[in-house]
Amino acid sequence: MATQCAGCRQKITSREYLTCALCNKTYDIDCAVVSIQRYLNIMSPTRKKKWKCPACLSKAPKGNNSNKPVCSHENEEI
């Protein structure tokens, strides 16, 4: 059975695709938003195994915000 891209739902016919390290969904490089040059020349096998899809990246915390104060609305007039 051929692999289907989780982004565009098309059959992946090339050898250039990535599988998300978090959700295990497979994406062709267009839907993965990775250029062919980056895929072939920059991404090591280890980096490809650690790749995270756009959907999982959007769910991830944006950084350490533990030092930011919590907004309190208790003193506001309603």
Q: Determine what percent of the chain is predicted with pLDDT higher than 90.
A: 59
What is the three-class DSSP state of 50? Answer: helix
Q: Which two tokens stand for residue 39?
A: 């895929």
* DSSP-assigned letter for residue 37: H
Mean pLDDT across 55-69: 73
pLDDT category at 59 given cuts 50, 70, 90 is confident
Mean pLDDT of 38-47: 90
Please tell me the predicted confidence (pLDDT) of residue 67. 63
- C-alpha atoms less than 13 angstroms from C-alpha of 1 in its C-beta half-sphere: 3
Residue spans of the domains in the chain: they are 1-53
Give the Cα separation of 74 and 78 in Å (integer). 10
Q: Under CATH, which architecture does the 1-53 domain have? A: 2-Layer Sandwich (3.30)
Higher pLDDT residue, 74 or 60?
60
Mean pLDDT of 47-60: 89
